[in-house]
Amino acid sequence: MKYLFLLLPLFAFGQSLPNPTPPSPTTLVMPREISPIMLIDPKTRASDFVQAYALVMKEKAGAKVIFKLMNGSELSNIMELTLMPGGSLILFKQSTTQGILYTFEKIENIDTLIVQ
């Protein structure tokens, strides 16, 4: 509403608004650095997480593996990972004091894998 009040005096005095012209290609400003963007198929990323987990378990049998999620939470005490057929979900089988816990996580929610 306040924009209407700002434009109203211009029309009241018979003045028209200037017609904006699009900038020509020579006047466009390009950023100095363009950050690289890498697109990765979710199924490939999920497979990488599963293979990394398998490699760590093979090389360091007693290692503690933690998956850190984007929201800051962590999945630990992982017994097994299963990649779902579509490739966008991983099933985490975790050992807890209450028994076995099954957690499905979207690939985009997984931030990193930590080995301790």
Residues 23-60: tens digit of each pLDDT: 555 555 556 676 688 888 999 999 999 999 999 999 99
> pTM (2 decimals)?
0.67
User: Could you tell me which residue, 22 or 61, shows the higher pLDDT?
Assistant: 61
Domains of the chain: 42-115 (2.30.30.100)
CA separation for the pair 24, 8 (Å, rounded) = 31
CA separation for the pair 87, 109 (Å, rounded) = 13
Q: Please give the pLDDT value at position 4.
A: 46
Show the 3-state SS of the chain. CHHHHHHHHHHHCCCCCCCCCCCCHHHCCCCCCCCCCCCCCHHHHHHHHHHHHHHHHHHCCCCCEEEEECCCCEECCEEEEEECCCCCEEEEEEEECCEEEEEEEEHHHEEEEEEC
Closest CA to 103 of 67, 72, 54: 67
Q: Please give the pLDDT value at position 36.
A: 81
For 53-100, what is each residue's pLDDT tens digit? 999 999 998 899 999 999 999 999 999 999 999 999 999 999 999 999
